[in-house]
Chain A
């Protein structure tokens, strides 16, 4: 099996990598702090997508084990990890936004280039 075939088979993972890199590009190339934060959020969701995808199983159901449910079940561990990760992500977002608002109040701009000139 060639590399390309292997990549196509893991297209869900590849999509997560592409999303991660788009987010990284926004964080690195854009100057606006809020835009950078949106890029960071895209990176975070890409990682979550990767982890959730790793937990799925062919024809799997949600991991709720009752008499009525039939296997296979998706792995519950990635779901639990991502669940806490999402809440941490919103904490990061809120704190970063608070800092951005405070930066704007003090310097009147949220562009990284202009902020560098003001000191």
Chain B
């Protein structure tokens, strides 16, 4: 009964949406409104105005940096909310349901997997750094690099966790690193206010293009390392450390 009702609701939602999308311009049509409105301006002037040939980074950190700021705050707030919702095991009565030293029993990792992860991790880390630092020239940027760093941190923590001296979790718990994104935005916003009179403004003067690049790089590094640390911290807290 419930399933039939859900299926009927699904059809009732699907039909109007299918009718609506059938009236849209064909995807890929060069004269569609997606390409003729603001995107045309971004493509024509974006590289010169933001100093980032990779226009995705240019839009994220230049034209729409307020969006990005709000988004950085969302992931930071998510970490705070997860920490508030899940008490750390061991600190309270929750510990009796869980094995000691974390929410999950230690996973026995095959030596082959451990070797492959250890062998490839420097390359993954180098790639993540490249993605963060060169995000304005090539596909990449702070979010992408941060996601790669966070995934790498999770991978290494799963594989190398039995060593109690493993420093990565402690690094990820650093409040300063977790707040890297919002802090970088604060610095850049104030620098923009001082240089141009606008919050998050970038100096347009060609003589100050090095400053503009530095501001963008600071944002990328803050978002990248902060995002990576937050992802790893989310994993650790969910696991019950």
A-to-B contact residues, CB < 8 Å: 3, 6-7, 9-10, 12-14, 16-18, 20-21, 24-25, 28-29, 53-58, 60, 62-66, 71-73, 75-81, 83-84, 86-88, 90-92, 94-95, 97-99, 101-102, 105
Contacts and interface: CB of A to CB of B under 8 A. Distances in A.
Contact of A54 (B17, B34, B227): B34
**Secondary structure at chain A's binding surface: helix, strand, loop or mixed?**
helix
Contacts of B82: 94-95, 98
A10 B22 contact: yes
Interface string B88-106: 0000001001000000000
B7 A76 contact: no
**Secondary structure at chain B's binding surface: helix, strand, loop or mixed?**
helix
Contacts of A12: 27
Nearest to A72: B30
Interface in B13-34: 13-14, 17-19, 21-24, 26-30, 32, 34
A17 B14 contact: yes
Interface string B46-57: 110000011110
Interface string B102-138: 0000000000000000000000000000000000011
Contacts of A55: 34, 39
B97 A105 contact: yes
Given A12-B27, A65-B46, A84-B71, A101 B53 contact: no
A57 to B, nearest CB: 5
B3 A29 contact: yes
A98 B238 contact: yes
Contacts of A60: 28
Given A10-B27, A63-B42, A63-B56, 12 more contacts: A13-B27, A21-B10, A28-B6, A29-B6, A54-B32, A58-B30, A63-B43, A65-B43, A66-B53, A87-B147, A94-B82, A98-B81
B184 interface: no
Contacts of B9: 24, 28
Contacts of A73: 43, 55
Nearest to A64: B54
Contacts of A105: 94, 97
A79 B35 contact: no
A76 B28 contact: no
Contacts, number: 165
Nearest to B21: A13
Given A21-B10, A58-B29, A83-B143, A64 B138 contact: yes
B78 interface: yes
Contacts of B47: 65-66
| Those 7 A-B pairs whose CB atoms lie nearest each other, nearest first | A91-B78, A29-B6, A76-B55, A13-B21, A75-B39, A80-B59, A6-B22
Nearest to A13: B21
Q: Which of B10, B30, B67 has the most CB of A within 10 A?
A: B10
Contact of A64 (B17, B42, B139): B139
A14 B64 CA distance: 29
B38 A63 contact: no
A35 to B, nearest CB: 13
A88 B75 contact: yes
B21 A98 contact: no
